[in-house]
Amino acid sequence: MAIKMRVLCTPGKKKLVAMTQMIKQEFDLSINAADVIPPAYSCDKERLVVLAVTCKGSLKDDVRLFITELNKNRTANVALMIDGNADGDAYVRSLLEIAGTKVYPETLYINGGSLFNSKITDQEKTEILAWVNKCIESI
């Protein structure tokens, strides 16, 4: 199934980068579809952007600015994978609502690991891929 989709993560945690690469590989996305926030290539008319964000309440300015610029010209839908708590989720959702893009209602809470841990368990892989499939089916 071909879909114009990007998977982006906040920099700093190897596990989040590994998750974005796993999704890119699983869905056979284009070469620049997995990146950190802000990405090297801007989002342009994406069908879905999956954001894997470490957020325990506030965000770095460059990440916050990128999220507030995700309007309908850049992406039709955004899905959130949050390494943090419900407050972080609510904060990111409020930024996306201001931008005016549609946000998938179900947030996937993930464990972003430590600075050096990039190991994704089989259970995490199964949960992440099932969630992404649900996101795709909903659009």
Rounded Cα–Cα distance for residues 4 and 81 (Å): 18
Residues spanned by the domain of 112: 5-138
112: domain CATH number? 3.40.50.360
Rounded Cα–Cα distance for residues 110 and 97 (Å): 22
pLDDT digits (tens, 9 = 90+) for 64-103: 999 999 999 999 999 999 998 889 999 999 999 999 999 9
pLDDT digits (tens, 9 = 90+) for 14-57: 899 999 999 999 999 988 899 999 999 889 899 999 999 998 76
In SS3 terms, the chain reads as CCCCEEEEECCCCHHHHHHHHHHHHHCCCCCCCEEECCCCCCCCCECEEEEEEEECCCCCHHHHHHHHCCCCCCECEEEEEEEECHHHHHHHHHHHHHHCCEECCCCEECCCCCCCCCCCCHHHHHHHHHHHHHHHHHC
Q: How many domains does the chain have?
A: 1
Contact 99, 64 (CB under 8 A): no
Query: What's this model's pTM, rounded to 2 decimal places?
Result: 0.92
